[in-house]
Structure 1
């Protein structure tokens, strides 16, 4: 049984990696995730990290980010990686969500 709402994942990259990661996430787990993308340089401070459960930076050095993270948002950094590595990481993320959903106790009330 999936979670009550989709996980919210925000991808950030300088190049087109965020767009690719978002497309992979929707293709592999559209029933599990909502995604948004952003790029640095267009008002990083305006990035709505409060919306996201998970904030993924790809290629961008995390210490160079000027946006503040919400206390409820987890941040992970994927260093410079190609499309195959991005697809592998997204697939692992979706697989982890499926595994957690299977471990969730069934509400019998």
Structure 2
């Protein structure tokens, strides 16, 4: 059974609230999950796992599939960093340089996909 999708108007509203600094935990969770959904729509595939604990994790980007254990291409960050990256508030290079993103694996690079067209 497929996960329920976050409707665009609900997700975009949550993102706007998060960007304005007026978001509670539930709204930040919705914004995070919505932006992860937009990422998987833009780059479907099984190659890179993007983790934004505690709110979500997705697999995206076309390429080889892993079947057991930890995936070879993993990106992890805090929700605030993910929201900033996805909306263009911070660049991929700056987030990596500031150690706000942990990225391991040869394909663990979202720079060509960010910022997302989320609204």
Q: Could you state the TM-score of these two structures normalised by the residue count of structure 1?
A: 0.31
Q: Which has the higher contact order (CA 8 A, sep 6+)?
A: 1
- Structure (1 or 2) with the greater strand fraction: 1
TM-score (norm 2): 0.29
Q: Flag the structure with larger Rg.
A: 1
